[in-house]
A and B are shown apart, each in its own frame.
Chain A
Amino acid sequence: MSAFSAINEEREIERDEFTPGIEPQATWCPGCGDFGVLKALKQAMPEVGKNPDEVALFTGIGCSGKLNSYFNSYGFHTIHGRSLPVARAAKLANPNLEVIAAGGDGDGYGIGGNHTIHTARENHDMTYIVFNNEIFGLTKGQTSPTSPKGHKSKTQPHGSAKSPIRPLSQQLNAGATYIARTAAVNPNQAKEIIAEAIEHDGFAHIDFLTQCPTWNKDAKHYVPYTDVQQSDEFDFDVSDRAEAAEMMRKTEERLYEGEVLTGRMYIEDERPSYGEEKRQIGEMPEEPLAERYFDEDAEWERTYDNLLEHHK
C-alpha cells in the first residue's frame, strides 16, 4: 500500500481546490501577466485530473517565484535559478508526483541557464513554465536575457549591446521533448498547452509570454497573437526537428518585430524520459524510493554484509 494516498486518487477535481485561501491578495501589479499563468495552471488541473496533494510546484525567485504562494499544492519556493535541480530530484525520489517548475526569464535563461540546459538534456518527466516578460520585474526594470538588443534600462543606459537569448531554439538543442510558447493574453491556449505539457512524458518547456505593464510592455503589445497551428502561413510538422527549428527561429525573431507567434513548436513522443532511462540501466529502483521509508516491512541492507568482504 502506498504511503501517499493523494497520488492517483480517483475523484472529481475542482479548479477552486487550487486556491489556497491563505493569501487572498497576490502581490503582483494590476494587469500583470503572471495572473494569466496562475489562472491557466489552475484550469489545467481538473483536465489532467491532478489534486493539490499530488502536485509539487517548485519555483525560483522573482515575481514568478510567488506562483506557489497563490497556488494550493505542495510548494517549494527555492532560490534564484535553482528550481529545476530541486524539482527533478523530487521526481527521481518519487516518480509518482506531478512535478512542475516555474520561474522567470532571468531565473531560467540567465542565472539558472545551466540547469535549464541540463534538465532538458536529461529529459526529466516534468513541466517547466518560464514567465517571459523580457525584463527583470521585481528588481525594478533591468534588462533581462530576453530583452531586445538596444533595450535601455538603468543598468544598460546606452541600450543593451547583446542580442536576446533564443529560448525555444536553445531548448530544442538541449533536448527538451515538448516545447511551446503561449501568452497570458491567450488563456485558453495557455490552459491547453499546460495540460498537454503535464501529460507529456518527458521534459516539457513552456515559454510563457507575460506582460509587465509596470516596467515593460502592457497586454496590448501582445495582441494580436497568432497560433501557429491555426495559421495558414505556418505549415510545419511539429515533430520534425528541422522544421521546428525553423519555426522557432521565426517565432523568436518576430517577437522583437512586434509579431507574437505562439503554439506548439516541437513535440517528440518517442524518447524515453530520464527515469525510464535510469531504470533501464539498473540505476533507479522500480518502486518509488520515497515509499520505502514509510514501509515498515522494507528491508534495509547493511554494508557489513555486502561491502566489507572486499576489505578483509
Chain B
Amino acid sequence: MNTVRIANGQAFWGDSPAAPVAQVRGGDIDYLTLDYLAEITMSVLRKQYERDPDAGYARDFVDLMSEIMQECIERDIKVVANAGGVNPQGCAQALLDVAASKGISGLRVGVVTGDDIMAQLDDLESEGVPLQNLDTGTSFDEVRDRIASANAYLGAEPIARALADGANVVITGRCTDPGLVLGPLVHEFGWQWDDWDLLAAGTVAGHTIECGAQASGGNFQGGWRTMDDLAHVGYPIVEVSADGTFVVTKHPGTGGAVTTATVTEQLLYELGDPATYLSPEVTADFTALQVQEVGPDRVEVTGARGRPPTDSLKVSMAYSDGFQGAAMITYAWPDAIAKAELADSVLRTRLKDLGLPLRAIRTDLVGYNSVHGRVVPPAGSDQSEVVLRVSIWADDPDTVSRFAAEIAPLVMGPPGFTGLLAGGRMRPSRVMAYWPTLVPKSVVDPQVIVRDGV
C-alpha cells in the first residue's frame, strides 16, 4: 500500500450528521475517523448509563452506522470512533444488532476498554498518586466526593491491536483524538513503537484532521470570505505515506478549501509548547514541520519529529460544581445601553436585598462589548439595541431559580423591556466541571476484544 487515506467525519458530538456520509460517498477512503467526546461528555454518558445499563455511548454513532455500515464493509472502509463513551461494549452490541436487523454480514467490531478508572480512584489515592489538578495544582480532596467520571486518555496502541485482530469497526471510550488516526497508520505500515519520527508524523496527521472542517475552510479566520460553498464544506482527508509524509486534501466538488493557510491555522489550534505535543505513544515536535501546496486543495506536511513519551497518561475527570443560569433582555433606542445598565443595577440591588449566596455574577451587554470587552472598544454608545445578559453561578439550584424570578419584574424598570430572549423563565442548569490530572501509565491496562457479527 503506497498511501493510506484517512478521513475525519466528526469533530465533536453534535457536528454535522451529513459530514461522515459525505466522506464515505464522496470518493475513495480507507478509514473514517469520528470524534464524539468533549472533555465533560463522559459525565453525561455515565448518568445515562446509571439509568439504563444499555446506554452510556454516542447513540448518534449507531444511527450513522446504520446508514453507512453496508457500504463501509463492501468497500473495506474501516471506521474508528471514540463513540463508546462509558459503555463501549453496549455501543458494540448496538452495532451488532443493527447488522443483524439489516442482514449485513462481515461486521467485526473491535472494542477498546480500560480507560475508565473510576473504580480505581481509591486504590490510586492509597498508593500515593496525588490526582491533583494538572492546571491549578488544587488538591484532589476538594472534589473527591463529587467526581462523576474519570477516564484516562488511551492512545493508538489498542486501536492498532484491534485492527490487527481483524476489526473493521473500532470503538473506544476516552482516547486521544490523534490516536484515532495514528492507530490505523501503525497497523497499515507496521511502524514500530520506537519509530519516534513516524509516530510523531501520524500524530500530527491526526491533529490536523481531528477538528473536522477546521482544516478545510471552516472557522477560517484567514480568509472566510473567500471560502466557496461552506454549506457543503468538505471535511479533511489525510493521505499518509509510509515515511510519514502526508497530504491534506478533501473530496472533489465539496466546499471550503485546503490551503497552507487553512492547514497552518489548524496545526496551531489548541497547541501548547510546539516542541512538546504530548500523547501516550510519542512526544511530537512541530518546530520543523513544513507545509506546502502541491496541488489544488492539496497541502503536503513533512518534517515531524518525535521523541519518547512521558511515563504518565492524562486523565479527564468531571465533577459536579453547582448550577448556572443566564437571563437575556433586549433594550432598544433611545438610550439602549443606559436602560440595560439601569435594569442591571435594579436587578443587582434586589439580589443584594435577598442575600442570595452567589458564587459569581456577570453582566454582559451583548451586541456592544460582551466578547472583546475593552480590548476592542465599541465604536460608539448610541446603539439601536443591546441585549442585557446577566448570568450567575451558585451552589444550589434554588438560588438560580430565585434569581430567575427576579427577571420578569424588570418590566417595571426602564422602559422597553421587550421580553425574555431565551423564552420563558430560565431553569437552573447543572455545571459539570473538568478536572485534568495525570496517572502513571502502569496503572492503566487497555483491553481489546473483537466481536464478530454474522
Chains A and B come from one and the same complex:
no
